[in-house]
Amino acid sequence: MKRYVIGLAVMLALSLTLTGCWDAKQLQDMYMSYGIGIDTAEGQSNMVTVTLTAPTLTEGAKEQLQILSSQGHSIDEAINDMQAKSHQIISVAHDRVLVIGEQAAKNGISEYLDTFVRNPSIRNDMYVTVAKGKAEELLNIQLKQDPFIALYLTQLLEKNRRLSKVPLVTVVDLFGKMVDKDSDPVLPYVEVTEGRDGLIARGIAVFADDKYKGNLLNDGAVVFMMMSNKAKSVNLTYKSFKSTENDDVYSTVNIHGISNDIKCRLNGDKLSIDMKIKGDADLIEHKVTRPLSESDIGREEQALERELINDMNDVMRKLQKEYRSDPLGLCRCVKIEYPDYYDSIDWKSIYPDVDVNISAEININRIGTSS
């Protein structure tokens, strides 16, 4: 009997050593932010405004979201400063999305990225996006359909990536492009609707080095995604061959199996770059006037290719002349093919004037269930 008692006492005492929750943090004590926004502080270009958004976990709270904002010389300083405004422990370990304000992006983003890569407690697979206007404003809008704006934004980007309307860039990807001198980064570009109750994934923000230069919107963004070999499947609407001078007729195709073959050629001292985009298309929508014939398909393909080439030329012109940005990595192509030539030139200065010959070969393979 005595042995059992001692045994029981020892077991009970040992069970005390098994309690693993002595330093547990209650959920109510945590400010678990899901989105982080970065802006250049008003009037002080060396200060950064950081905005965090987190769900309120206290029951009966009036607002479902709690948004904090603070300024500092570094991101961490700003977050530390925020602690003064909150009774909870601020944690950025769960951040899903990093929103960069337009002005901050224009001033250069490389200085902000370091902490996201260096700090092991931050998820560095969080998405990065550029907001029209201020990131703080974007994180502050009231969505009717979903109170959690950061998660909504994450989903918005992921869903639009499927149709290749925006690229999906994580912090590490962005950091890699930033330190890589051979190619420039691009980020998704998001804008708040006029009624301030919704978000729109508008397209692509183009950077030169680490500075935001301009946008490729709508079709431009889709075509850019195709050119950078990042598009798996895209939907394009173009002017059908049936268009006449006073009546535009449109068709829509879904293009998949897209590949863009980039080759550079050096003729004497003249550098030119050939791009050939290939893909298979399904006809999705087509205004019927009569049944499609074999030659119609050929003409439809031609119309599509013509429009695609136009769009691509447009994108290239913007990238080369306006933004002077090389997100397609043409620089690396030249470096690989003609290393000696590359060493003798200053890529940045010749890039805007390089000839880019674009061609397209799209086959319409499927036309759906009607002809």
Footprint on this chain of another protein (rule: CB under 8 A): 117, 120-121, 123-125, 170, 172-173, 175-176, 179-182, 329, 332-333, 335-336, 339
Cβ nearer to another protein, comparing 305 with 337: 337
Q: For residue 108, give every residue at least 6 positions away whose Cβ sits within 8 Å of its Cβ, in sequence order, or none.
A: 209, 210, 211
Please tell me the distance from the alpha carbon of residue 108 to that of residue 94, in angstroms, as a whole number: 25
215: how many CB neighbours lie within 10 A of its CB? 20
Residue 371 CB, nearest approach to another protein (Å): 37
Residue 333 CB, nearest approach to another protein (Å): 7
Cβ nearer to another protein, comparing 117 with 292: 117
Instruction: Tell how far CA 30 is from the center of its chain.
Output: 29
Residue 335 CB, nearest approach to another protein (Å): 7
If DSSP states are collapsed to H, E and C, what string results for the chain? Answer: CHHHHHHHHHHHHHHHHCCCCCCCCCHHHEEECCEEEEEECCCCCCCEEEEEEEECCCCCCCCCEEEEEEEECCHHHHHHHHHHHCCCEEECCCCCEEEEEHHHHHHCCHHHHHHHHHCCCCCCCCEEEEECCCHHHHHHCCCCCCCCHHHHHHHHHHHHHHCCCCCCCEHHHHHHHHHCCCCCCEEEEEEECCCCCCEEEEEEEEEECCEEEEEEECHHHHHHHHHCCCCCEEEEEEECCCCCCCCCCEEEEEEEEEEEEEEEEEECCEEEEEEEEEEEEEEEEECCCCCCCHHHHHHHHHHHHHHHHHHHHHHHHHHHHHHCCCCCCHHHHHHHHCHHHHHHCCHHHHHHHCEEEEEEEEEEEECCCCC
Residue 194 CB, nearest approach to another protein (Å): 34
Cβ nearer to another protein, comparing 118 with 196: 118
Strands of 355-366's sheet in order across: 233-239, 250-267, 270-286, 355-366
Residue 132 CB, nearest approach to another protein (Å): 27
Cβ nearer to another protein, comparing 116 with 238: 116
Residue 65 CB, nearest approach to another protein (Å): 23
Q: How many residues does the chain have?
A: 371
Backbone Cα Rg of the chain: 27
Cβ nearer to another protein, comparing 117 with 284: 117
Cβ nearer to another protein, comparing 173 with 280: 173
Residue 129 CB, nearest approach to another protein (Å): 17
Residue 193 CB, nearest approach to another protein (Å): 29
Cβ nearer to another protein, comparing 178 with 192: 178
Residue 339 CB, nearest approach to another protein (Å): 6
Residue 51 CB, nearest approach to another protein (Å): 25
Cβ nearer to another protein, comparing 74 with 229: 229
Cβ nearer to another protein, comparing 181 with 348: 181
Please tell me the distance from the alpha carbon of residue 173 to that of residue 26, in angstroms, as a whole number: 34
Cβ nearer to another protein, comparing 72 with 176: 176
